[in-house]
Structure 1
């Protein structure tokens, strides 16, 4: 089995000869790596989110080219915060993104709510219910991250189904919404992305052969994580 993985040369984590040598981590391990980076090393969460959002916007420019009309689907957690930062950078670079939230403002996590406020301060557009008739040039999926539990529900599920049915090219942030980061199992529904930009470390689920149907081409970028982690981090 071979999964094609692009490693961003500017923000490379490690130099490898092939994807089989790339370290992979389960969802619970990624949680520990996040905690170590933020709490032990003192890297600010908003700083990580800013870099993730900018890298996502760069990936969107490569995927969508000069097209401007982009739908950005944002969830209540960190993945949604990344999507909102991505929207800001795309707007600064001359694109016309519209953000669609899966949850009301009061249900957004604090750091995501902060990014939502920034987006509005920049004059960013917030949509209600997206429609294929709006003629989007691409979709960015920032609904659900690696900590997914069970099938997507509610408006998140509705937005995933709409995105898949729209036939517009989809860029997934970190992992396609609905894909299990540990097992690679596709929940119902699950985003079918053309390209996935992965933040920091490779998730085990993305290397499962069947996951390629949902992740498309995979690009791994460093957003400020250390090059190596102490073994003790994953043993906690």
Structure 2
């Protein structure tokens, strides 16, 4: 990890607008970027919580969920017991997130809308809401976030704790209180300002191998 990127802070839009071109310039597809993000999250999860054998992955409907499905697949392949709770189970995913979900299903995975598995988890992976949220968290996301927080199970957030505004660090009504947040490509301003700092827990950064192109 280079000092330049790990100490620079970006607006969510800057990361969103430039990670695609940077990936392309690095010869990496956006799906490969998602695979790398999922792997980075999984590796940090087992590094911080090596005894965790029962994983619950909370999945929304965007790319954050796609990263979550990658984590779920890797955990299952490593012999963990994995439950994916899909926030909106009847809303079809698109693009790379759909590919990641399909890979999870192909690996023998399934999705449930039943949140009761949260109580039995050793670790929760937060893939509910990404950096795009601009308004108050709505149902069913708010209920899942509250259930995860109240469970006292350690939570690893993907990129940003769900419910935190990526630029201001403000809690949008309700937000995940993570033990660890694994953030990618550029550190979002909301992770180091406002309430975001407390909700992120320990911050781990991964440039997903596209740092040089991203900085250009």
| Contact 2:57–2:68 (8 Å) recurs in 1 | yes
Unaligned stretches of 5+ residues in structure 1: 1-11, 232-236
**1:146 is the counterpart of 2:146:** no
Other structure's SS at 2:144 match: helix
Q: Report the Cα offset of residue 78 of structure 1.
A: 0.6
State the Cα RMSD in Å. Answer: 2.0
**Which residue pairs with 1:3 in the alignment?**
none
Number of the residue aligned with 1:197: 182
Q: Distance in 1 between matches of 2:192 and 2:118?
A: 35
**Deviation for aligned residue 1:43:** 2.6
- In structure 1, the residue matched to 2:115 is 130
Q: Within the alignment, does 1:87 sit opposite 2:75 as a pair?
A: no
Q: Distance in 1 between matches of 2:107 and 2:118?
A: 26
Displacement of 1:104 in angstroms is 2.8
Q: Which has the larger radius of gyration?
A: 1
Work out whether 1:207 is the aligned partner of 2:195. Answer: no
Partner of 2:32: 47
Q: TM-score, normalised by structure 1?
A: 0.84
The answer on 1:185 being equivalent to 2:136 is no
Q: Name the counterpart of 2:208.
A: 223
Paired position in structure 1 for 2:85? 100
Are 2:13 and 1:37 aligned? no
* Structure 2, unpaired ranges of 5+: none
> Partner of 2:98: helix, strand, or coil?
helix
Please say if residues 105 and 113 of structure 1, whose CA atoms lie closer than 8 Å, have aligned partners that are also in contact.
no
8 A contact 1:87–1:97 mirrored in 2: yes
- 1:175 has 2:163 as partner: no
1:23 to 8, 11, 25: 8
Structure 1 residue 158: deviation in Å?
Answer: 1.6
Residue 161 (structure 1) aligned with residue 146 (structure 2)? yes
Q: For structure 1, which segment, 31-40 or 167-176, has the greater mean C-alpha deviation from structure 2 after superposition?
A: 31-40
Q: Secondary structure at the match of 2:115?
A: coil
